[in-house]
Structure 1
Amino acid sequence: MTISPGHIELERSIDSIRIGSRHRTDLGDIDMLAASIERQGLLQPITVTPDGTLVCGARRLAALRQLGVRRLNVWVRSGISEQLTLLLAEQEDNALHKSLSPTEAATLYREVKVLLAEDASRRQEASRFGAEQEKPRSDGAATVAAPLTALNGDTRAQAALFVTGRRSYTTLERIGELQRIAADESVDEALRSRASAELALIQNGGSVSSAHHRMSTHAAVLELERMAADPTQPAGIREASSMGATRVLAAAPLTPDADLERLAQEALARAKTATKSRKVRLAATTDTKLPVRSFVYLWSDLSEWWLRYDITELSAQLTDEQWEEFEEILAGTIAFAKRLRALRDTSRGMAPVSASR
């Protein structure tokens, strides 16, 4: 046994070392590391707690097991006791060797954020009840974790700095939200499945921002479809929801992720404020003009619409209010078409078409 500042070095059975729950799931190329250890030996010992829980060195431990090593010298850190301190040691090991994947980093970030908040709360309670005066050398934090208490700013920024070395947490928060949805059994199965698919794309190098836009769009479309199928909703809301979902799905193949999300959110907002009154619905939507592509998709959807309905059935079942609404829309459409045709003809140097056309 060798005693050095901060740790004790002793021989231990490799099978007695407990891995426990760790944030790294991909250990990378173990064969190359094993070959290096076989040539040069273990240059940096594995670190464990007094009860044999691995602190850092998961990849080295896997390589040694692959080489058939049964016993090895380890460093025992008696100061590693609290969960936050263990995370600090694990992250230090990750930083020195193989970086965490985006999803691994988000998982670690979420746990560190909670622990930092709890640690801050404990220090606040200790200060409130005079614990600092009674024990001036202790603030409730573990020795290794204590330097983090000097950081200023939001807990999210502190946790992001710990995990990535930067204070920006937006990407980690977005991945965390996808992880939460994928794991929440109370969430709609279609939404959970989409979240899992987006996480897989991120794990393979996909854009987190694009995944966030797609997930938001998917959630909005599902909500529109739910509202459209809900018989307890007013007819105006069901109609607006159905039309909104159709437009978004039609636009999806040719629209950038961010623009499609915006289109979906606008459709959802319009649907939620729709009523039975057509005039009220129009007043709520004319402030924001839709893009040209929305016009194109709308009329593509309406192509030969008159062939899709039984005119005898419509004549028998449409109410007076529904017929008046149809005539109002038809009149507005014809007037709009005349103005649009005149502008197009003028821009092309053609003579304006007569109003009777």
Structure 2
Amino acid sequence: MGIELERTVDSIQVGTRHRTDLGDIDALAASIREHGLLQPITVTIDGVLVCGRRRLAAIRQLGWRTVSVWVRSGISDRLGHLLAEQDENLHRKPLTQLEAAALYRELKQLMAEDAERRQVASRFSADHQPSTDGGGNFPPPSGPVGKAREQAAAMIPGGTSYKTMEKIGHVQHVADDPDAPEALRELATTELARIEAGGPVDPAYQRIRAAAAEVEQARQAELHALAEEAVARVTGPGRGTKRKTPATETVRAPGRWPVAAFVQTWTSLAGWWTHYAPDELAAELTDDQARVFLTVVDGTVAFADRLRPLLTIDPAEVGEAGDDAAGEEPAQHGAAEEGAVPPRHLRAL
């Protein structure tokens, strides 16, 4: 994935996203002058800087004409273009949440690799010269991953925190995991589509975590039942008992999602209509966005009509709550709580 070569210093391109507070370059330059450059900077095949902005600034200050670089192959064209940008305004089309998260994961991996190589190189150095390479706005890594997450997130347009990027990455991992149950992967794929359409990340992340926990609970119950059955078989003839399906194990039709995901979805939507004005939405939503909303509402109403007769709650209570909610204006601070119906009640939409 990479090779170490000599490259002229002037040929290394530094994009806008590397221009930050570089900290004390004089001290780093003095250390490099005395001990040499212990760890090469990382560049793309085209000579675009990936990692090592402070090291590059220091050797330029020293007047070096050439420098040893680590040429990293396999970098996506999208990330290569992002790193090479010389002007923030060149990035005209905003990244979607999923595009930003994909670039974040790629950049984080590259920075973690660079940090790992610097750790190995500095292990045999008395003053651990390269360990201060983060500097300035990018603090030094404390390990192979170290501050790679913060650094990678800071270089991705949009200002999204690394925590949000990590949550999207978790949902993406579940969707791509061939060992995960099909229903869980389908749920994760649906959540990614919601995020891509502008939906909030944390509720989607929490729903996936809850669904995964339910799957793991069922798996553990199954393993426990198998263990009990094995013990019963070896304790002697006639002592075994017929294996029973664990109470926590649920059998779902293909594509069915766990109840925990349903609860999380509707809990996160409680009182949502108190925070929007219909006239504003009508003016700003695209036709496709409006169709998605109305399709979801129609499907929800149809499902509610099937579910309502099966519930033990008072239908009149649900109907009154829905009538009240339909006439509410967008809530001021604190108003949402007053008009909210307990999450276990479906609303009349």
Shorter-chain-normalised TM-score: which range? 0.3 to 0.5
> Looking at both structures, which has the greater relative contact order when contacts are Cα pairs under 8 Å and sequence separation is at least 6?
2
Name the structure where helix makes up a greater proportion of residues: 1
| TM-score where L is the length of structure 2 | 0.40
| TM-score where L is the length of structure 1 | 0.40
Q: Which has the larger radius of gyration?
A: 1
